[in-house]
Structure 1
Amino acid sequence: MTILNRLLPVWSLLLGASFGATAPGENHWPQFRGPQGSGLTLGQPTPTQWNVETGKNILWKTPIPGLAHSAPIIWKDRIYVTTVVSPEKPELKIGLYGDIGSAEDKGVHQWRLIGIDRDSGKVVFNELGHEAVPKTQRHRKATQCNSTPATNGKYIVAYFGSEGMFCFDMQGELLWKKDLGDMDAGYFKVPTAQWGFASSPVIHEGKVIVQCDVQKDSFLAVFDLASGDELWRTPRNDVPTWSTPAVAEWEGKTQILINGWRHTGGYDFETGEEIWKLNGGGDIPVPTPIVGSEMAYFTSAHGMSRPIRGIRLSAKGDITPPDIKETNEAIAWVHHRKGNYMQSPILIGNRLYGCNDRGALTCFNAADGSILFSERLQGNGFTASPVSDGKHLYVTCEFGEVWVVKLGDRYQEVAINELGENCLATPAIAEGVLFFRTQHSLIAIGNEDD
């Protein structure tokens, strides 16, 4: 019996902490999907019901200029968001549809970093980071600012795609910037359909990790956080992806986990050397890998397959099976038609939850992949990834409905709440408060009696 199997029966909240969630009392949500990209924090309970119109459990609502799907991040008493302000009202088309065309963004745009007081919602600063005509276009559902910034409490790194990578101090002063070339991300079968870059930077041990899978000259790279100096760069041969890397520790070595189609894999954090690789899956990879104690979980969709897999962190070399439905020594389990398109799954204790873009919420046993339940949420398009306070799951529809589901082996719907605006950004949590970045606002939702 493995260590993971021995631990799985333990109370899920305690086990969740071993999977990288913040401990009670911590107040950081430093990157896309929070601590270690887990989407999970174990602190004060977050509200299960609210009402934007009446103000029930609405602590504050702050207008945010421009258009962006980058998620909020939190460090202590500050929230940070990035945005792009354009000279004209930007087009945004949401919901489920098959149009692959690009929006036509013209004129000079401003990429900005905004600092907000966490308690009051007051804007502390609104700093210009970059100003230019966009080098590449975007999908009509996307924005020119999809990537979520990351911070370590001293530096904030924002990746603006083709416009470059920018590093600020905690007051919004620009410290350095790097031009990494045109990040032309779109459908590989129709290269003229530009969809916009979306992979977010990850900070680890004073270094910045970026995954740049685009139409040509793709790479994975690590930079020094303080100076912006490039430490290494490893070329990649894959189709454009929109996935954010994950960091995992295994037997004293740190590896970077990358989602892809032709080349999902793990790389050595210190050198960029490939540790393992896997070919096959959905040909438009978006979700970020999810890290457990002995396994990581990968999913992608579109094309012939939409697999979700549990892969052992001990994987070495080429682990591609003869058939996508098969497992092997490295692939612990697989469902070749149960994966996600847009949303990243979330691991909470011994359960892995995943929701696809049509609202099919599935709960898997994380150890063996067995399905505990699958329920259809009646929404029209799901892009934001789910988050949890260790007691409930929050799943957001593009049109602003939020499903609150009690954690467990069966589906238990607690409430469906409205945000009153479109929402494609993944929410953040800090000390019992949910922060939703909607199309026009940042909304703080907390239990008013606390």
Structure 2
Amino acid sequence: MRSFPATLLLAFGLLAFGLLTQWESLHAQSNTDWPAFRGSGGRGVAEGFPVRTTWNADPAAGALDGVLWQTEVPGLGHSSPVIFGDQLFLITAIADEGSAELEIAAGGKPTAADDNGRQQWVVLCYDKTSGKELWRQTLRTGEPRATRHAKATHANTSVCVDGRHVVAFLGSEGLYCYDMEGKLLWQRDLGVIDISKYGIGWGYASSPAIHNDRIALVCDDPTNPFVAVLNLQTGEEIWRAARTSDCERSWGTPLIHATDDATQVVVNGWPWIVSYDLESGKERWRLEGGGDNPIPTPFEANGWIYITNAHGAKSPIYVVRPDARGNLSADESAASKDAVVWSVERGGSYLSTPVVYGDYLYLGNSNGVVRCFHAKSGEKIYEERLGRAAGIVASLVAADGKIYCASENGNVYVLRAGPEFDILAINPMSEPVLATPALSEGVLYIRTTRRLIAIQ
């Protein structure tokens, strides 16, 4: 029997791997999965199913209505639900002694939490249809290597899933990769990553991002800020870009955006927002930021990249073309000016990542104000307040003609999508909501400070 040449076998292998990777990428873009923080591409949008408008998840407000299931979540975390197939994932930090508390109040003070005792960092996997816990794995046990803000937690980040790998990054507490059944494949320690200000560690919050066989991580510790890309299969570091002169601190998740000519990693920051080539780490473009605490995650809509930040002198919104190159703030050429589709100096959000839905961009703020801009022109449509103490920390999500605004006052506000400010419902959750909801097959999955609740 004649054997195939080694080169031909290699070609078949590469083709098979490429087809599998392409299938996984397409599957991750389906209407049923929410495979990372804010879903596919970080857009925060899910279509194809009707989604409930009104419900009651607070026993004190009357009979429960619209609750498919609910379960207590141990410990404390702002990690948002991530869904692939019928599996739902969360991260939490469980203190060995006492009950960790959050400072829930409007505004904020530079106050560190007093819970730096021994913790267990745990990834939890649930059946999304029933809420049954399928497995849990302890990522790390020990004392935190960095402090947290009184309003943050030791488990702020969300996992990222591609159908074969579950990646969890906790900053100072390490990087972990599991298979879908909870088997540890590999782990890495990237050292202490203390995202601090005023001498206080505010807590790590940048979730990982996956594209094919690459993982992108943002590690903007003020003493040694950097962005790194690693191999998904092995955890091997592919490249690392120092950001010492580019960013003093940031908490946003990186956007990996692929076009026909290249794939880039866009990272919010201050004083600079920077885009890097995914394969080489070389800088593609940069833009001078505005808010000195960059938290929202860049995302793609309409074929453009939307970025906002706030706190300090400015609260800008930038909309950038993916083929931008160079220093977009210093270059006065026509090409550079054309690279920024539109921008405003004031109107952006501080903590919550906005959402583009239909023709409009919606932004929620920690003071309860919601703003709406035309997503393609930048025209301001409205600026209204949701209600008393309706601080929006969680990012906005959209589906079925509605915008969902989860609030730290324990309500989820549902707005009618469109140019008119119209509150369709105010839904009680019993507890504050600071994690971003997930959507899958018409079900809203909402993590409160104590529970995970499915709304159908």
Q: Does the CA-based 8 Å contact 2:41-2:299 persist in structure 1? A: no
**Greater helix content:** 2
**Alpha-carbon distance, 1:23 to partner:** 10
Q: Does 1:351 align with 2:356?
A: no
Structure-1 separation of matches of 2:448 and 2:214: 30
SS in 2 for 1:382: coil
Name the counterpart of 1:425: 435
**Alpha-carbon distance, 1:332 to partner:** 2.2
Q: Does 1:310 align with 2:319?
A: yes
Q: Does the CA-based 8 Å contact 2:289-2:309 persist in structure 1? A: no
Structure 1: stretches of 5+ with no match in the other structure: 1-19
Q: Which whole-Å deviations, capped at 9, do the CAs of 1:209-247 have from their partners, x for residues lacking one?
A: 101111111111111111111111111121110011112
Q: Does 1:118 align with 2:118?
A: no
**Of the two, which has the highest radius of gyration?**
2
2:48 partner letter: G
Q: Does the CA-based 8 Å contact 1:201-1:209 persist in structure 2? A: yes
SS in 2 for 1:328: helix
Q: Does the CA-based 8 Å contact 1:155-1:167 persist in structure 2? A: yes
Structure-2 separation of matches of 1:199 and 1:21: 24
Structure-1 separation of matches of 2:358 and 2:310: 25
Structure-2 separation of matches of 1:399 and 1:98: 15
Name the counterpart of 1:370: 379
Q: Does the CA-based 8 Å contact 1:363-1:373 persist in structure 2? A: yes
**Alpha-carbon distance, 1:284 to partner:** 0.3
2:451 partner letter: S
SS in 1 for 2:337: coil
Structure-2 separation of matches of 1:316 and 1:36: 21
Structure-1 separation of matches of 2:327 and 2:95: 45
Q: Does the CA-based 8 Å contact 1:288-1:344 persist in structure 2? A: yes
Name the counterpart of 1:198: 205
Aligned partner (choices 220, 226, 233) of residue 226 of structure 1: 233
Q: Does 1:208 align with 2:215?
A: yes
Q: Does the CA-based 8 Å contact 1:400-1:418 persist in structure 2? A: yes
Q: Pairwise mapping of residues 377-388 of structure 1 onto structure 2 (< 5 A)?
A: 377-380=386-389, 381-388=391-398
Q: Which whole-Å deviations, capped at 9, do the CAs of 1:349-403 have from their partners, x for residues lacking one?
A: 2211111211221111111100122211114221000111141110011122111
Structure-2 separation of matches of 1:21 and 1:186: 38
1:207 partner letter: R
Name the counterpart of 2:54: 49
- Check 1:153–1:251 CA distance in 2 against 1; reply closer, same or farther (3 A cut): closer
Structure-2 separation of matches of 1:26 and 1:218: 35
Name the counterpart of 1:9: none
**Alpha-carbon distance, 1:197 to partner:** 0.5
Structure-1 separation of matches of 2:388 and 2:169: 31
* Percent identity (aligned): 38
Structure-2 separation of matches of 1:95 and 1:287: 20
Aligned partner (choices 225, 240, 246) of residue 249 of structure 2: 240
**Alpha-carbon distance, 1:21 to partner:** 11
Structure-1 separation of matches of 2:370 and 2:99: 34
SS in 1 for 2:229: strand
Flag as ranges the 4+ runs of structure 1 deviating above 6 A. 20-25
1:49 partner letter: T
Structure 2: stretches of 5+ with no match in the other structure: 1-24
Structure-2 separation of matches of 1:76 and 1:69: 22
Q: Pairwise mapping of residues 233-272 of structure 1 onto structure 2 (< 5 A)?
A: 233-237=240-244, 238-272=247-281
Aligned partner (choices 363, 378, 396) of residue 406 of structure 2: 396
Q: Which whole-Å deviations, capped at 9, do the CAs of 1:14-70 have from their partners, x for residues lacking one?
A: xxxxxx999997321110001111100112111000012312110111111000001
**Alpha-carbon distance, 1:80 to partner:** 0.8
Name the counterpart of 2:183: 173
Structure-2 separation of matches of 1:321 and 1:357: 32
SS in 1 for 2:44: coil
Q: Which whole-Å deviations, capped at 9, do the CAs of 1:56-87 have from their partners, x for residues lacking one?
A: 11011111100000101001111111111002
Number of corresponding residues: 421
**Alpha-carbon distance, 1:185 to partner:** 0.5
Structure-2 separation of matches of 1:66 and 1:155: 24
2:209 partner letter: V
- Check 1:185–1:25 CA distance in 2 against 1; reply closer, same or farther (3 A cut): closer
| CA-based RMSD | 1.9
Structure-1 separation of matches of 2:43 and 2:377: 20
Please identify, of 379-388 and 313-322, the stretch whose mean Cα deviation from structure 2 is larger. 313-322
SS in 2 for 1:329: helix
Q: Does 1:65 align with 2:70?
A: no
Structure-1 separation of matches of 2:354 and 2:252: 12
Q: Does the CA-based 8 Å contact 1:22-1:42 persist in structure 2? A: no
Structure-1 separation of matches of 2:289 and 2:268: 11
Structure-1 separation of matches of 2:258 and 2:124: 33
Name the counterpart of 2:171: 161
